[in-house]
Amino acid sequence: MKSLLTVCISILLGGCASSYVSFQNIEKPKKQYHKIFVITIFNEINVKTLNEETYDKYFRDNINDLKSMDSRRLLENVLRNEISNPRTPITSSKDKFKINIDINYNDFISTLRKSDTEAILLINETDYYYEVSERISKCGEIKKSESPKAVFQAYLIDINSMQPFWVGKIYSSGTQWDDAGTIYRSMSRRLNKQLIKEKILLPPLLIRK
């Protein structure tokens, strides 16, 4: 009974992560984008344009690397669940690129074209850590808790110009009940709301509250 109560409390208190976005519109988009291709990277990047040089430097070894496989699958699944709708379908890189094979720039571009991609949503997880806090109970016992924090860079890249037209940083903060999944969901929801607000993405027919 006690363990069941603990699980129920965890469910009630879970998912309390919050996020906020600091962003810049580099160029006003000429239209709202319908078909988005999601790419996630877990190494430092700095993308001014997505040409063959920057692809080889930042993407080629990281777009489908074995080291980040589990985190990439989780993050891209969450992004698709939170952003994708019949008006804005999402294609994930994990569904198009097999793990640990070399993908050159031409193959990369060819995959984007075949997917009818209009824009690339690039998410770079730059930091993920746990903040430790302490509190003293009534009986004098010191109790520690860990809360996850994360920072993400987001780029929206037009498929024709291959240049970012919107960039942002998302700061996410969770409670001791949260994990990577809830951090990713909070980030994805906040990002989606911002892009709809900026009229970059179409809102779903039924808007989530």
pLDDT of residue 206: 56
Distances (CA, A) of 163 to 22, 23, 48, 127, 178: 19, 16, 7, 24, 35
Contacts of residue 139, defined as CB under 8 A and 6 or more positions apart, other chains included, come to: none
Radius of gyration from C-alpha coordinates of the chain = 19
Q: Which pTM was predicted?
A: 0.85
Q: Is the pLDDT of residue 184 over 80?
A: yes
- Give the tens place of pLDDT for each residue, 55-80: 999 999 999 999 999 999 999 999 99
Q: Which of the pair, 137 or 32, is modelled with greater confidence?
A: 32
Contact 69, 124 (CB under 8 A): no
Q: 17 — phi, psi (to 5°)?
A: -65, 150
Name the nearest CA neighbour of 55 among 110, 99, 95.
110
Q: Is the pLDDT of residue 7 over 70?
A: no
